[in-house]
Amino acid sequence: MNKITAAITAVGAYVPDFVLTNKALEVMVDTNDEWITSRTGIKERRILKDDSKGTSFLAIKAAQDLLVKANIDPLEIDLLIMATATPDMPVAATGVYVATEIGATNAFAYDLQAACSSFLFGMSTAAAYIESGRYKKVLLIGADKMSSIVDYTDRSTCIIFGDGAGAVLFEPNYEGLGLQDEYLRSDGIGRDFLKIDAGGSLNPTSLETIKENRHNIIQDGKTVFKYAVTNMADSSELILKRNNLTNENVDWLIPHQANKRIIDATANRMNLEDSKVLMNIEKYGNTTSATLPLVLSDFEHVFKKGDTLIFAAFGGGFTWGSIYLKWAYDKK
Catalytic residues: 116, 256, 286
Q: 274: Cβ–Cβ under 8 A, 6 or more apart, which residues? A: 267
Task: Determine which helix (DSSP H) or strand (DSSP E) holds 105, and give its type and residue range.
Answer: none
Instruction: Please count the CA atoms within 13 angstroms of the CA of 288 that sit on its side-chain side.
Output: 27
Q: Fill in the amino acid letter for 151.
A: D
Q: 290: Cβ–Cβ under 8 A, 6 or more apart, which residues? A: 58, 62, 119, 142, 143, 144, 164, 165, 166, 284
Write down how long the chain is.
Answer: 332
Phi, then psi, of 182 in degrees rounded to 5: -145, 150
* C-alpha–C-alpha distance, residues 215 and 159, integer Å: 18
End-to-end alpha carbon distance in the chain? 29
Instruction: Please count the CA atoms within 13 angstroms of the CA of 319 that sit on its side-chain side.
Output: 20
Instruction: Please count the CA atoms within 13 angstroms of the CA of 206 that sit on its side-chain side.
Output: 8
